[in-house]
């Protein structure tokens, strides 16, 4: 003795329009309009996001469809990009050496002034530079 559920009627264009204009706070069926409605969890697939809803007053159900309406960045700066975080630090040793060697080469190619400024900025004193270069 199964009770086969009778298919409920659809929504008219006017019912849809009023429901959307009100922000979906009341049963969309014009002959009801109760605010005793409840939405389930949000569902999602490639086609979009939706929520099944029902009215506790008339017992009818409907589905709210959601559209993407905006985007904003996350609150926190990311740490390392995930693909780099997977690497062991020894994996990048040679790259760091090469990058620093290139930097040293650029300084040396900048002449005496670039070299002296770099050494002073790295914390050496004039006396230490002279002493290190030696006799």
- Summarize as ranges the residues that interact with Zn ion (CB under 5 A): 27, 32, 34, 55, 57-58
Nearest-angstrom CA–CA distance, 105 and 111: 10
Which tokens belong to 36?
A: 């005793």
Q: Which is nearer to Zn ion, 51 or 115 (CB)?
A: 51
Q: To the nearest whole angstrom, how small is the minimum distance from the Cβ of residue 52 to Zn ion?
A: 14
DSSP string, 19-68: HHHTTS-S-S-TTT--S-EEEEEEEEETTEEEEEEEETTT--EEEEEE--
| Residue 24: CB minimum distance to Zn ion, A | 13
Compare residues 32 and 119 and give the one whose CB is closer to Zn ion. 32
To the nearest whole angstrom, how small is the minimum distance from the Cβ of residue 83 to Zn ion?
A: 51
Q: Which is nearer to Zn ion, 36 or 43 (CB)?
A: 36
Using only C-alpha atoms, the chain has a radius of gyration, in whole angstroms, of: 35
Q: Choose between 34 and 105: whose C-beta lies nearer to Zn ion.
A: 34
Coil/strand/helix, residue 14: helix
The tokens for 99 are 């990058």
What is the nearest approach in angstroms of Zn ion to the Cβ of residue 5?
A: 16
């Amino acid at each position: 003795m199964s009770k086969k559920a009778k298919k409920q009627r659809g929504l008219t264009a006017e019912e849809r329009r009023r429901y959307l204009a009100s922000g979906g706070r009341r049963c969309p069926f014009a002959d009801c309009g109760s605010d005793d409605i409840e939405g389930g969890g949000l569902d999602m697939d490639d086609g979009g996001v939706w929520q099944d809803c029902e009215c506790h007053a008339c017992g009818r159900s409907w589905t709210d469809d959601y559209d993407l309406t905006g985007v904003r960045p996350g609150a926190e700066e990311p740490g390392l990009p995930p693909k780099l975080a997977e690497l062991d630090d020894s994996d990048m040793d040679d790259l760091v050496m090469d990058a620093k060697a290139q930097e040293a080469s650029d300084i040396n190619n900048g002449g005496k002034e670039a070299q002296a400024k770099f050494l002073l900025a790295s914390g050496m004193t004039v006396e230490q530079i002279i002493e290190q270069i030696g006799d």
